[in-house]
């Protein structure tokens, strides 16, 4: 019986940390060898971290990446290691090294280079042209990278027709809502079309705006899930594969025989790896884990926690500071920060003014008690009055307006940044996607900070996540009043968000249709949205691009986030209505 023990090393690399990434790779190789695995696989560009972006334009970065691969190579003995790296020939390639017994047997070059959304691979890499398969004894497998598997007629098809019973697909595939299920359904189709066992490995971790969700898995030739790793956590997944079962299934598929005949000679390279196969039957049986998929709100929350944790830690900050308003956004950001970093590394700053309500004070302090975080109070009213006194002559005869509101927000931003500088804490901003979309935020005020945790989370979803969190914890973490009181910036008497915005349950569907789905004015109206509201929202979105360009990075969770996922000009006279 042809059996193979495989290990999927779902690791969290750091971009540019060659020493740390190599150490992590070698450690997992040693663990896999000790368990008797014949193959261990690592994520796409696991040597460099993903995405390296314009670091790829630096020749020394490529040199150091190749040196790092050599260090890994020296530590590969009685196991085949598939390691993502940047190869350099006539050009540079997104590549997978196939290493055995300290020797580099081959480097597979990624063929389909994504160049949409957050991906810019055509900016950096040349596309591969080869479809290699690898043979050890009577076992045959193929390797490809991320986007390659999304094409029905891509490399996996040629590799399977040439005899590969196992397809290994290594990835750095970022999270967004719904992508996991969509990706899994696509991969089931690839498995059944090609009658192969598929080992799908994803990276895990946060990298600037992206979060890689892990959740690696193995599907057998019948479309059965036989192993699934953890989501949003590092993991080492083992499975024993029965490759005879692939051969038996293929015997019953006459359609495949016709396709094999059509495969042109020389289309696929076959590379022999002289490995002496250990008999899996002589090893202790591996019981593969099939971890349950998280429910949607928990997935989103875990993405936000991991993205926050890695951004703070990978950039060397000791902790974070958050402006506490007693509102829902700052409450959720604080809760995420505590789960990401621990309560001792999160500090709250309450900055009341003459317009701050008694309820907001109570809610801010209640949240701090519930989370166990320290909270400091720095009133801003005397500073605000100083501004009014200084500007009194210049503003004489003019009514109070958004100018005075923004002064308060900027005072708070200044104080937060002062604490950041003095205590080496990263400021987490608390704005959400709804507000950022329409520019309902103050430049150099509440937008001032280093990381925007909720930048891609709509307001209505924030309420859902907060309710889910309280229910999951079995106690009140986020004060109940925060979840039902009317949102207000509290920058003037009796202020409400709905003074300038449609109610969020009406606003968010318009924003999704316009920003994420690229629907036209007429199409949005056809969804039942009010004409005047749609015009107003589109105008606010289009004229707020200059603000968003100056906002801190934030975690992508939706189909289309602000930043490099959505690239619109600031100077723009076009109106689609």
- Asked if 439 and 540 count as a contact pair (C-beta separation under 8 A), the reply is yes
Quick one: 71 and 133 in the same domain?
A: yes
- Please enumerate in sequence order all residues whose Cβ is within 8 A of that of 507, keeping only pairs 6 or more positions apart, or say none: 434, 438, 459, 501, 533, 537
| Beta bridge pairs of residue 544 | none
Quick one: 68 and 98 in the same domain?
A: yes
- Asked if 195 and 157 count as a contact pair (C-beta separation under 8 A), the reply is no
* Distance, CA of 510 to CA of 557 (rounded, Å): 18
What is the token pair recorded at 217?
């898995």
| pLDDT tens sequence across 87-115 | 999 999 999 999 999 999 999 999 999 99
| Dihedral sign, Cα of residue 393, residue 395, residue 396, residue 402 | negative
pLDDT at 281 over 80: no
Which of 447, 478, 494 is a domain's end point? 494
Residue 195 lies inside a defined structural domain of this protein: yes
pLDDT band at 463 (very low <50, low <70, confident <90, very high): very high
* Distance, CA of 96 to CA of 155 (rounded, Å): 14
Quick one: 208 and 331 in the same domain?
A: no
Quick one: 14 and 118 in the same domain?
A: yes
- Please enumerate in sequence order all residues whose Cβ is within 8 A of that of 437, keeping only pairs 6 or more positions apart, or say none: 511, 515, 540, 541, 544, 562
Count of the separate structural domains present in the chain: 2
- Asked if 177 and 290 count as a contact pair (C-beta separation under 8 A), the reply is no
Query: Which residues in 221-345 belong to E strands, given as ranges?
Result: 225-228, 235-242, 270-272, 319-324
Which of 444, 470, 494 is a domain's end point? 494
Q: What is the pLDDT of residue 564?
A: 86
* Radius of gyration in angstroms for the set of CA atoms belonging to the chain, rounded to a whole number: 27
Q: What is the pLDDT of residue 282?
A: 66
How far CA 515 is from CA of 133, 434, 456, 529, in Å, comes to: 43, 11, 11, 15
Backbone angles phi, psi at 365, to 5 degrees: -75, -35
Helix, strand, or coil here: 142? Answer: strand
- Asked if 451 and 553 count as a contact pair (C-beta separation under 8 A), the reply is yes
Quick one: 81 and 133 in the same domain?
A: yes
Backbone angles phi, psi at 104, to 5 degrees: -85, 105
* Distance, CA of 129 to CA of 550 (rounded, Å): 41
* Distance, CA of 333 to CA of 329 (rounded, Å): 6
Query: Which one of the listed residues 110, 314, 459, 512 is annotated catalytic?
Result: 110
Residue 129 lies inside a defined structural domain of this protein: yes
**Domain harbouring 348, CATH code:** 3.40.50.620
| Beta bridge pairs of residue 82 | 41, 98
Q: Which residue has the tokens 């094999």?
A: 260
pLDDT band at 263 (very low <50, low <70, confident <90, very high): confident
List the alpha helices (DSSP H) in 424-458: 433-438
Quick one: 300 and 263 in the same domain?
A: no
pTM over 0.85: yes
| pLDDT tens sequence across 26-70 | 999 999 999 999 999 999 999 999 999 999 999 999 999 999 999
Quick one: 265 and 306 in the same domain?
A: no
Residue 268 lies inside a defined structural domain of this protein: yes
Residue 534 lies inside a defined structural domain of this protein: no
Q: Which residue has the tokens 């690696």?
A: 216
Quick one: 274 and 301 in the same domain?
A: no
pLDDT at 82 over 90: yes
Backbone angles phi, psi at 572, to 5 degrees: -155, 110
The percentage of residues in the chain with a pLDDT greater than 70, rounded to a whole number, is: 99
Query: Which one of the listed residues 24, 140, 146, 529 is annotated catalytic?
Result: 146
Quick one: 20 and 137 in the same domain?
A: yes
| Beta bridge pairs of residue 80 | 39, 100
Question: For 17, what's the count of Cα atoms within 13 Å in the CB-facing half-sphere?
Answer: 12
What is the spatial order of strands in the sheet that 103-109 belongs to?
103-109, 92-100, 80-88, 39-41, 3-10, 235-242
Quick one: 310 and 200 in the same domain?
A: no
* Distance, CA of 11 to CA of 28 (rounded, Å): 9
Q: Which residue has the tokens 């720095």?
A: 378
Residue 384 lies inside a defined structural domain of this protein: yes
Quick one: 12 and 71 in the same domain?
A: yes
Quick one: 271 and 333 in the same domain?
A: no
Mark whether 44 is an active-site residue: yes
pLDDT at 381 over 60: yes
392 lies in which domain range? 296-494
- Asked if 348 and 376 count as a contact pair (C-beta separation under 8 A), the reply is yes
- Please enumerate in sequence order all residues whose Cβ is within 8 A of that of 143, keeping only pairs 6 or more positions apart, or say none: 82, 96, 98, 108, 132, 134, 167, 168, 169, 170
DSSP 174: B
Residue 577 lies inside a defined structural domain of this protein: no
Q: What is the pLDDT of residue 280?
A: 54
Which of 282, 315, 345 is a domain's end point? 282
Mean pLDDT of the chain: 95
Mark whether 146 is an active-site residue: yes
């Amino acid at each position: 019986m042809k059996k193979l023990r495989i290990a999927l090393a779902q690791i969290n690399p750091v971009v540019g940390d060659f020493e740390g990434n190599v150490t992590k790779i070698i450690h997992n190789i040693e663990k896999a060898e000790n368990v008797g695995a014949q193959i261990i696989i690592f994520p796409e560009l696991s040597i460099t971290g993903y995405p390296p972006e314009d670091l790829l334009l630096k020749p020394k970065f490529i040199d150091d990446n190749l040196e790092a691969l050599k260090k890994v190579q020296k530590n590969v003995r009685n196991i085949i290691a598939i390691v993502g790296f940047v190869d350099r020939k006539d050009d540079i390639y997104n590549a997978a090294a196939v290493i055995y017994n300290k020797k580099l047997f081959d480097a597979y070059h990624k063929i389909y280079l994504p160049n949409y959304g957050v991906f810019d691979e055509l900016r950096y890499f040349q596309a591969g042209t080869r479809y290699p398969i690898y043979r050890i004894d009577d076992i045959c497998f193929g390797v490809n990278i991320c986007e390659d598997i999304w094409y029905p007629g891509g490399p996996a098809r040629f590799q399977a027709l040439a005899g590969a019973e196992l397809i290994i697909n290594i990835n750095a595939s970022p999270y967004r809502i719904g992508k996991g299920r969509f990706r899994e359904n696509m991969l089931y189709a690839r498995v059944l079309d090609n009658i192969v066992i598929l080992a799908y490995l994803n990276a895990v971790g946060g990298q600037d705006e992206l979060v890689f969700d892990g959740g690696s898995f193995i599907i057998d030739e019948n479309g059965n899930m036989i192993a699934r790793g953890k989501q949003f956590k590092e993991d080492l997944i083992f499975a024993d594969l029965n490759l005879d079962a692939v051969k038996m299934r293929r015997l019953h598929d006459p359609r495949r025989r016709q396709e094999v005949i059509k495969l042109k000679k020389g289309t696929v390279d076959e590379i022999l790896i002289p490995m002496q196969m250990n008999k899996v039957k002589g090893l202790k049986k591996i019981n593969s884990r099939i971890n349950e998929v998280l429910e949607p709100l928990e997935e989103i929350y875990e993405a936000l926690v991991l993205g926050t944790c890695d951004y703070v830690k990978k950039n060397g900050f000791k902790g974070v500071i958050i402006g506490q308003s007693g509102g829902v956004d700052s409450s959720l950001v604080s809760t995420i920060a505590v789960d990401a970093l621990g309560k001792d590394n999160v500090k709250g700053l309450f900055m009341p003014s003459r317009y701050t309500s008694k309820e907001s004070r109570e809610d801010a302090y209640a949240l701090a008690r519930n989370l166990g975080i320290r909270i400091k109070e720095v009133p801003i009213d005397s500073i605000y009055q100083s501004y009014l006194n200084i500007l009194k002559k210049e503003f004489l005869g003019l009514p109070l307006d958004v100018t005075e509101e923004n002064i308060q927000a900027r005072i708070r931003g200044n104080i937060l940044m002062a604490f950041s500088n003095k205590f080496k804490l990263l400021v987490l901003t608390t704005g959400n996607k709804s507000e950022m979309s329409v520019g309902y935020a103050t430049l150099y005020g509440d937008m001032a900070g280093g990381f925007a945790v909720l930048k891609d989370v709509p307001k209505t979803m924030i309420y859902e996540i907060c309710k889910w969190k309280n229910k999951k914890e079995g106690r009140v973490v986020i004060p109940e009043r925060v979840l039902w009181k009317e949102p207000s910036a509290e920058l003037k008497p009796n202020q409400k968000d709905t003074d300038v915005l449609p109610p969020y349950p009406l606003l968010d569907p318009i924003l999704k249709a316009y920003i994420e789905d690229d629907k036209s004015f007429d199409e949005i109206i056809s969804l039942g949205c009010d004409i005047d509201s749609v015009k107003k929202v589109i105008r606010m979105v289009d004229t707020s691009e200059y603000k968003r360009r100056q906002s801190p990075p934030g975690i992508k969770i939706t189909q289309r986030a602000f930043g490099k996922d959505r690239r619109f000009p600031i100077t723009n006279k076009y109106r689609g209505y």
